[in-house]
Each structure stands twice: as C-alpha cells, then as structure tokens.
Structure 1
C-alpha cells in the first residue's frame, strides 16, 4: 500500500474528469449529447485497450463472465452520461457538479432497496442532510413564477442532472454486483464499448459536423476521460477506498476554478452553501463506512483473503 500515491492518482483523476466536463460543456451549444457520448467513449476505448495491453491484462480485460450484466451496466451508465452532458449545456459547471453529488447519497438508499444492505440511523440521517443540501442548490432554479425561456431551460438542466445522479447511483449498485463475477478492467472496457455502440443509436437525431476546434475538444475529452478512468481504477491498488473516497469532493474546487476562468461563471451563495452541506454529509457517510469496516475487520481477524 502507498496511500500518498493512491491519493495523488485520485486527485489527478478528479482533475482530469473536471477538464473533460469543461471540454464537453464548451461544445454543448452545438454538439448533441449523444454525439458527445460517442467521442467520450470511443476515444477512451483505445486508451483503455493500450493500458490493458501494457499491463498484460488483455485476456482478463476482454473476458466477460456476466455478459448481460455488462449490457445493463452500459445502458444505465450511458444514460447517466448523456443526461449529464446535456445538463452541462444548460447550467454552470459548479452547479452541475454540486447537484451531481446526490449520486453517492442515492447509492446508499438504493443499496438498501436492491441489495438488502443494512442502513442504520446514522447513514440515513447523513443522506437526509445531504439531500437537503441538494435542494438548497437547485431551489433557485425551480422558478414557478418565472416564465422566461432562460428559467425554463435552467429547470430542465436541473432535472437532467438529477436524472443523471439517479442513473449513476443505479450504475454503482450494478457495479457492486458485477465485481462479484468480473474483473474491474473488464467492467471499465465493456462500459466504454457499450457506451460507444449505444451512442450511435442517436445518430438519426441530429448529429452535426463539428468544427476543427470542436472536434479537437471532443477527441481530447475522450482521451482525457480514458486516462482519468485508468487513474481512478489504479488509485485503489495503492490505498483503501475509505482513504481516497473523500477526495471525490475535490471536483467542486476544480469546477469552481474552471467555471470562473473558462466560462465566467460566478457561484451563488445558495450553490456554495448547499454544496458544503452535501459534501459534509458525504464525508459523514464515508467516515461511517470506514468505522464499520474497521469493526468488521476486528471481528474477523483470522479470515484469509480467500474467505
């Protein structure tokens, strides 16, 4: 284990994902979300393939034990990605990031609903607090009496991000099941492959010929996304999930800086306050998971890695 290296990889991955989102946002005015998903997935696919080849993991990375599981994970994850990309064209980057923090909160709820995981009062309270934070972020956008086109589009953007968070949480539940039968490398590879194929289904719905600058940004988004996925996967080789998980929230710092410098987006007080509450709730859940993990470890001191 090398926790410092694990944390460095996680923070770098989060920074790269933030840059990727900014590149998608920069093209969102003219490039449809489905087309953006294609570029993000297709060019990431080659980076992942090269990574698997360098590690000598092509055989495990291409082996799918649960074929339909990968298909459903791809459908759910691609839907989340497309909704998020569409929202980036309607809302500021920090706001999309803040509302997206609902995903790990919903994962706790869905784990109890679909996987039968025990969720006690502490985590339920943290989830409730976090969801209040999400409501604070999105409340100014739910303008019932403002009938302007801008307000209507912002409301649509909020709904898209919330939908993306729901599907991302469902994807996490599905991944928890997939890791029981398939290697992580296979899950990463087949998600990119499935997302590439599914995105082509949106071709009849208005793909455009991007300008040179747009094409370069979209290709860069795919390549950067691929490298970010590799770093995210690799960080868990050097540090426990409970150690690196809190650094997910570094994405807010990157989103604030990128949004201000690139898109002239100034965060509102409500957005910052709500995001702070959501982040605090998320860290509470991570802390609780770590405490429970330590207790389980003490209760099973003689258990081998093979079980």
Structure 2
C-alpha cells in the first residue's frame, strides 16, 4: 500500500513538473531556445515571401489556425483537454495582446526591410527582456550576463547604423516589436508557473484567431495551391517554434535565454542570401560576429555555473 502510494505521488510530481511548474534546467532551456529560434526564423522567411501577395491579417489568421491545431494535438497526447481549464484567463489575454502587437509590427518591418536588417534590429528584445525580468519577475542579473547582453547590443547598434536607413518606419517598427516581444516572453514565464505550454499556446491561438478572423471579410484572398502549402509550413514552423520557446521559458530564466535569441541573426543572413540574394554589408557581418560571440560566452558560463552547483540551490551570478 505504502509502495503504491509512493509511486502515485512520484507520478503526480512528474506530471506536475511536466505540465505546470517552472524548473531550472539550463541545458534543456538552451536547446529548446536554439530549436525555437531556427523555427521562428524559418517562419520569418515564409512571412516575408507571402507578404508580397497577401495581407498581414490573413497571414496571422492562417498561421494561428495551425497553432490551435498543434495545441490540441499536444494536449491530447500529454494529459488531455482538461489542462485547458484555467483561472488565469486575464494573463492569457494579456500575452495574446502583446503577441498580436509584436506580429503586426514585425511583419510590417519584414515587408519594409531586408530580412537580416529586420531581425537584427529586433534583437534589441534581449535587453528589454533583461530589464523587464528584473522588475516583473524579480530575477537577479549579475555582471557577466549584463556584460554579454551589452556587448550583444553593441553588435545590434553596429548593424542598425544609427542615422542611416535603419531608423526609418520599418526600423522603428522592428524596434517596437522587440519591446512587445520581450513583454510576450515575460508573460510566458509568469504563466508557466501554473500553465502547461499547450495551454499557453491554446489560449493565445484562440484569442489571436478571433481578432484576425474578424478582419477576414476585408482582407481575405484565396491562396493558390502552392501558397496553401506555404501557409501550412508557416503554421507548422510558427507553432512549433512558439511551443519550444514556451518550454525554454519553463526550464530557464528569461535573462539567461535572451542571449540565445541572437543566433537567429545567423539564420536570417543565410536565408536572406539563399532566397533573395541579399549580401550582408560589413556592418551586418561585424555586428553578427559580436552578437554570436556574446551569446556563446553567456551560454557557456551558464552551463559551467550549473555544473559546479549541481545539487545545490541555484545562486544567480
């Protein structure tokens, strides 16, 4: 009897951690973040390609149909639809609003700027995330994280070339989207202490779908067969990327995950060259080197610190 009770308690504890609790597992957080950034950069490529022919509201609408389907599939395979019950509807609504504003601004920036430029400017988000995580999450950020983030921001400034075309409407939209993206990730971290990743994905997919669906009578354009395939890929990469990002927020602090997002610049430069033939300027290359080096530095320190403190209460640097 006691043995069975212990097994039941262990099973409950495992499920609770899997679906509703925050954990400190930096290696998992970094791996999920890296996978998420690749998926979301692929999403950016598809959005930029489709935005030449379709409206941004329609792109958002079709993208989040996929998000809803994925949330239902994940929930079905990991505890059932009962996990969608929530007492934090206002939190989900807040995150959905932040996410919707982020998309509208960033998709506009993708239309107006080369892919690498839009992504590079949006990389102001990690600095916003660090600043907001101090006030909203109570995270402590030590000298090493601050140093790496500030060095990364120097790289972003190099790419933006202040005083040049980087601060046109497209550049300002990308910068504003970075701020709201940081708020989106902060709210994901706050929700993750009680909500599963599938639940978070479900509610903001529903809310964004409702808003974008209301606009479809004015913006809908029937896609071609080929474009339907691209929209399917758009929904797949976008939804999987968001799911991975939610998992990264569950396993690691926002200020630790933030520098990993800089690796998206590598994918943006590569995809921009392969798809549109964009050749990065010297400033983009130099800024990318600075950003990626700062990312690897902070990631390595986090893993080393975690290895030294294995089994001990985590102490923030």
Per the normalisation by structure 1, the TM-score is 0.78
1:166 corresponds to which of 176, 179, 184: 179
Superposition pairs for residues 77-92 of structure 1, below 5 Å? Answer: 77-92=99-114
1:180 corresponds to which of 193, 198, 205: 193
Aligned to 1:43: 66
1:116 corresponds to which of 138, 141, 146: 138
Q: Check if 1:130 corresponds to 2:152.
A: yes
Q: Check if 1:93 corresponds to 2:115.
A: yes
Superposition pairs for residues 54-69 of structure 1, below 5 Å? Answer: 54-60=77-83, 62-69=84-91
Q: Check if 1:26 corresponds to 2:49.
A: yes
Aligned-residue Cα RMSD (Å) equals: 3.4
Q: Is the 8 A contact 1:7 1:235 kept in 2?
A: yes
Cα distance between partner residues in 2 of 1:63 and 1:248:
31
78-87 or 283-292: bigger deviation: 283-292
Give secondary structure in 1 for the equivalent of 2:139.
coil
Aligned to 1:264: 277
Write the deviation string for residues 181-227 of structure 1: whole angstroms up to 9, x where unpaired.
Answer: 322221122122222123235447x5141441444322331133223
Q: Is the 8 A contact 2:126 2:259 kept in 1?
A: no
Write the deviation string for residues 5-47 of structure 1: whole angstroms up to 9, x where unpaired.
Answer: 9977665544332222111111112322222111111222112
Superposition pairs for residues 123-272 of structure 1, below 5 Å? Answer: 123-139=145-161, 142-143=163-164, 151=165, 155-203=168-216, 207-212=219-224, 213-231=226-244, 241=252, 248-272=261-285
Give secondary structure in 2 for the equivalent of 1:89.
helix
101-110 or 115-124: bigger deviation: 115-124
Cα distance between partner residues in 2 of 1:9 and 1:172:
14
Q: Check if 1:16 corresponds to 2:39.
A: yes
| Residues 261/210 of structure 1: CA separation in 2 closer, same or farther (3 Å cut) | farther
Aligned residues: 287
Please report how far the alpha carbon of residue 98 of structure 1 lies from its aligned counterpart in structure 2 after TM superposition. Answer: 2.1
Please report how far the alpha carbon of residue 118 of structure 1 lies from its aligned counterpart in structure 2 after TM superposition. Answer: 2.8
| Residues 279/202 of structure 1: CA separation in 2 closer, same or farther (3 Å cut) | farther
Gap runs ≥5 in structure 2: 1-24
Please report how far the alpha carbon of residue 109 of structure 1 lies from its aligned counterpart in structure 2 after TM superposition. Answer: 0.9
Aligned to 1:305: none
Q: Is the 8 A contact 2:67 2:202 kept in 1?
A: no
Aligned to 1:304: none
Gap runs ≥5 in structure 1: 144-150, 302-307
Write the deviation string for residues 132-151 of structure 1: whole angstroms up to 9, x where unpaired.
Answer: 221111116x43xxxxxxx5
281-290 or 266-275: bigger deviation: 281-290
Please report how far the alpha carbon of residue 245 of structure 1 lies from its aligned counterpart in structure 2 after TM superposition. Answer: 7.7
Cα distance between partner residues in 2 of 1:282 and 1:11:
11
Per the normalisation by structure 2, the TM-score is 0.76
Please report how far the alpha carbon of residue 275 of structure 1 lies from its aligned counterpart in structure 2 after TM superposition. Answer: 2.4
